[in-house]
Chain A
């Protein structure tokens, strides 16, 4: 028996919105500690990892660990029948569920849907706990804007960290550009820029993955970029009181 109730159903909709362009079919894992999801994009360049802790739910029960294979596209069709202010409850009765039930509650209506589940034998990657040598925390809308703007100039974006801060740069056929974001310790947390640089990094990534994933900036005013030289970078959006949504992205290397 599994039941998880989102106080703020809009949050769940934003999460699905952020990952729908990156992953097609995912295994939603539920157990006593909460809900998690890990899935790679078709080209195995990016990996989406969601972690939602049971304490963040209005109601949460999961007697036995469950794996529910679902199509993100079909999940979206069901979620489109809910309002952004609805409370959303996920529920299933059986131990080997073939459907996942959804209840959307608002003050003037209640809706029930069932999504057919699928069995997905997806390869799970072991993501090692890494000590990253550069960790940058910055406003998520700033990061989104920089990726969108520089992404217009070149499909690969460079990220260079130093004690002074973080620099994004592009070198394309039409020309080149760079954006250096200054560290600031303003008392407004959503505008703060912090850099912990033990070792500077200089990495290159396909910016389209950033632009697809940055819909997640609706989840949090801050984004955390964790990097080590020649390692996948992690973009993390903290989901207040619930957990986090992460994107791991493999770098492009100078061949």
Chain B
């Protein structure tokens, strides 16, 4: 299956 990722994995905390 496909697992949904979240944005924190790609974008840093500003």
- In the bound complex, residues from chain B placing their C-beta under 8 Å from that of A46 are 7
Does residue A232 face the partner (Cβ distance < 8 Å to B)? Answer: yes
- In the bound complex, residues from chain A placing their C-beta under 8 Å from that of B7 are 40, 44-47, 125, 232, 248, 250
How many chain B residues sit at the interface, stated as a range, is 10 to 19
A125 in contact with B9 (CB, 8 Å): no
A253 in contact with B2 (CB, 8 Å): yes
- In the bound complex, residues from chain B placing their C-beta under 8 Å from that of A44 are 6-8
- In the bound complex, residues from chain B placing their C-beta under 8 Å from that of A251 are 5
B3 in contact with A250 (CB, 8 Å): no
- In the bound complex, residues from chain B placing their C-beta under 8 Å from that of A255 are 1-3
Does residue A123 face the partner (Cβ distance < 8 Å to B)? Answer: yes
B4 in contact with A232 (CB, 8 Å): no
B11 in contact with A127 (CB, 8 Å): yes
- In the bound complex, residues from chain A placing their C-beta under 8 Å from that of B5 are 45, 250-253
Q: How many residues of A contact B (CB 8 A)?
A: 24
Question: What's the Cα separation between A200 and B9 when bound, in Å?
Answer: 22
Does residue A204 face the partner (Cβ distance < 8 Å to B)? Answer: yes
B14 in contact with A124 (CB, 8 Å): yes
* Contact for A206 among B4, B11, B13, CB less than 8 A: B4
A126 in contact with B2 (CB, 8 Å): no
Q: Shortest beta-carbon distance, B5 to chain A, in Å?
A: 5
Does residue A138 face the partner (Cβ distance < 8 Å to B)? Answer: no
Question: What's the Cα separation between A233 and B6 when bound, in Å?
Answer: 12
- In the bound complex, residues from chain A placing their C-beta under 8 Å from that of B3 are 252-255
Question: What's the Cα separation between A124 and B2 when bound, in Å?
Answer: 27
- In the bound complex, residues from chain B placing their C-beta under 8 Å from that of A166 are none
Does residue A108 face the partner (Cβ distance < 8 Å to B)? Answer: no
- In the bound complex, residues from chain A placing their C-beta under 8 Å from that of B9 are 250
B10 in contact with A231 (CB, 8 Å): yes
Does residue A43 face the partner (Cβ distance < 8 Å to B)? Answer: yes
List CB contacts (< 8 Å) of A228-255 with chain B: 231-232, 248, 250-255
B6 in contact with A156 (CB, 8 Å): no
Does residue A175 face the partner (Cβ distance < 8 Å to B)? Answer: no
List CB contacts (< 8 Å) of A114-149 with chain B: 123-128
Q: Shortest beta-carbon distance, A205 to chain B, in Å?
A: 9
- In the bound complex, residues from chain B placing their C-beta under 8 Å from that of A128 are 11-12
5 example contacts (A-B, Cβ-Cβ < 8 A) are as follows A44-B7, A47-B11, A126-B11, A250-B10, A252-B3
> Chain A interface (Cβ within 8 Å of chain B)?
40, 43-47, 123-128, 156, 204, 206, 231-232, 248, 250-255
- Listed from nearest, the 3 A-B pairs whose CB atoms lie closest are A252-B2, A126-B14, A124-B14
